[in-house]
A and B are shown apart, each in its own frame.
Chain A
Amino acid sequence: MKRLLINLVLLTGISLTACTSEQAPEPVTPSNCASVDIKSARVYAIVQENCTNRSCHPGTGSPLIADFSTPAKLKSYISANGASWTLRVTSQNADMPQSQGFPPLSRATRDSIACWVSNGMPD
């Protein structure tokens, strides 16, 4: 019992020595999205790679509400759910894609997608 308590105290001590305080640097976002040339084809390739190729958002089955099966349906979804798209895909705290083997989108990718939306989703 005493040994267990000593181990617990040691473990706590060791983990507390790993206590640091770091803050990510400010994300470099394009100050002017007009200078960012990104088209629907590129964004749709990102969406296919990260959002639809593992039975997610396929246009059939679940979750049907976010149907990304074609570029037109992707645009239609973003037009109807702009705030949700921003919150869940391009914001700092974006939670998409939700694991299931998908890696998180990098800041640069999220910024590029945000600029594509901001520029009116050009083809």
Chain B
Amino acid sequence: MLHIRMLSVLLLAAPAAMAQDNLGELFGKDSVRRDPVIATFKSTRIINGQSNETLAKGDLDFRVAHRFGDIGGSGGGSSTFFGMDNSTDIRIAFEYGITDRLTAGISRAKGSGNFSQMYEVLGKFKVLQQTMDNRIPIGVTVFGNVVASGMKSSPEKSDVNYFDSFSSRMSYTAQAIISRKFGDIISLAVLPTYVHRNRVGYKDMNNMFAMGVGGRLRFSKRVALVVDYFVPFRDEESKDYYESRGTKFYNSLGVGVEIETGGHVFHLNFTNSTAILENQFIPETVTTWTQGQFRWGFNISRRFSLRK
């Protein structure tokens, strides 16, 4: 009788123990599966465009971006040391991770395009993060900025840089960064973008949509190829008007090498757009690769952890 009781207890206990094992295994696997995909891009910018990355909570990112003059064409060549004697745009920024998902920042850029002396306030929020188990197959980050120009107003009312109020100096960008990392080597991003400029030139567009794509191809642990490309949707009437006046708009294409050296991320890049801020390089790029109007540039990012 005792044997029968013991056998019954063992028979009942065995599946329970097995179930416990499975449960533990399940939790273990689950925690691995639900791990977020990290380092889709190594920096918060691909080249000109934003990446999906935000700063970790308490991190301060000091960023310097520089774009030199045309490498070729009438403004480049050996006399300007292939553009290095000139600078088309320079941006210095401080960005801070309020939480792991929310970054805010301020910057000052020289500006290139209709306006110069640009002051920017930006925010970036990671809405969705891709997970290892593909339960969330993509990452979604939203970015927005407000930019104001501090330049002197033109006296001519027909000039785009004639400011009759402070709001004329302002422009805005709203952008979604939809990204996916494929394995350890390739990362891609799609960047639907909306740019609003409060004041534009005659027949220019206050509201402009654009589509950007960007990617990163990793060569080694520290070096990767990065590319981004933006297509602004300018209407035909506007294009025709500007072409009749000798101005043609081009899409922005940037190609670069990303080098990570512990705490620093360097981007050595080439791009046809002269400006750095989205508010300018998306709607106002008038320089093209095919005429040598591309330039060397770099983005340097140095992060400091301010968290105690």
Given contacts A84-B75, A93-B286, A106-B156, contact A63 B202 (CB under 8 A): no
CB closest chain-B residue, reference A108: B156
Determine if A24 and B200 form an interchain contact, defined as CB atoms under 8 angstroms apart: yes
Given contacts A24-B157, A28-B158, A62-B79, contact A18 B98 (CB under 8 A): no
Q: Kindly state whether residue B31 has any CB partner on chain A within 8 Å.
A: no
Nearest CB on A from B240, distance (A): 13
* CA of A22 to CA of B160, assembled, Å: 10
* CA of A34 to CA of B110, assembled, Å: 38
Q: Kindly state whether residue A83 has any CB partner on chain B within 8 Å.
A: yes
CB closest chain-A residue, reference B83: A63
How many of B's residues come within 8 Å of A, CB to CB?
58
Determine if B202 and A87 form an interchain contact, defined as CB atoms under 8 angstroms apart: no
Chain B 200-234, CB-CB to A under 8 Å as 1, else 0, gives 11111011000000000000000000000000000
Interface SS, A side? loop
* CA of A12 to CA of B144, assembled, Å: 9
Determine if B112 and A91 form an interchain contact, defined as CB atoms under 8 angstroms apart: no
Given contacts A95-B274, A107-B159, contact A18 B74 (CB under 8 A): no
Q: Kindly state whether residue A103 has any CB partner on chain B within 8 Å.
A: yes
* CA of A95 to CA of B80, assembled, Å: 17
Q: Kindly state whether residue B22 has any CB partner on chain A within 8 Å.
A: no
Interface size class of A (residues with CB under 8 A): 35 or more
Nearest CB on A from B82, distance (A): 11
Interface SS, B side? loop
How many residue pairs at the A-B interface have CB separations less than 8 Å? 136
List B74-99 residues whose CB lies under 8 Å from chain A.
74-77, 79-81, 85-86, 88, 98-99
Determine if B81 and A26 form an interchain contact, defined as CB atoms under 8 angstroms apart: no
Q: Which residues of B contact A107 (CB under 8 A)?
A: 154, 156, 158-159
Residues on B facing A (Cβ under 8 Å): 69, 73-77, 79-81, 85-86, 88, 98-99, 104, 110, 112-114, 116-117, 121, 123, 144, 146, 151-152, 154-162, 166-168, 170, 172, 196, 198-204, 206-207, 242, 245-247, 274, 284, 286
Given contacts A12-B146, A62-B79, could you give 14 more A-B pairs where the C-beta distance is less than 8 Å? Answer: A8-B123, A15-B121, A19-B198, A22-B168, A23-B204, A24-B160, A65-B77, A66-B75, A91-B247, A92-B245, A93-B242, A98-B86, A104-B161, A107-B156
Q: List 28 A-B contacts (CB under 8 A).
A: A15-B121, A18-B170, A19-B170, A20-B167, A20-B168, A21-B207, A22-B168, A22-B200, A23-B202, A24-B158, A24-B159, A24-B162, A28-B158, A62-B85, A63-B86, A64-B80, A65-B80, A83-B246, A86-B246, A90-B246, A92-B242, A93-B201, A93-B242, A95-B113, A95-B274, A106-B154, A106-B155, A108-B156
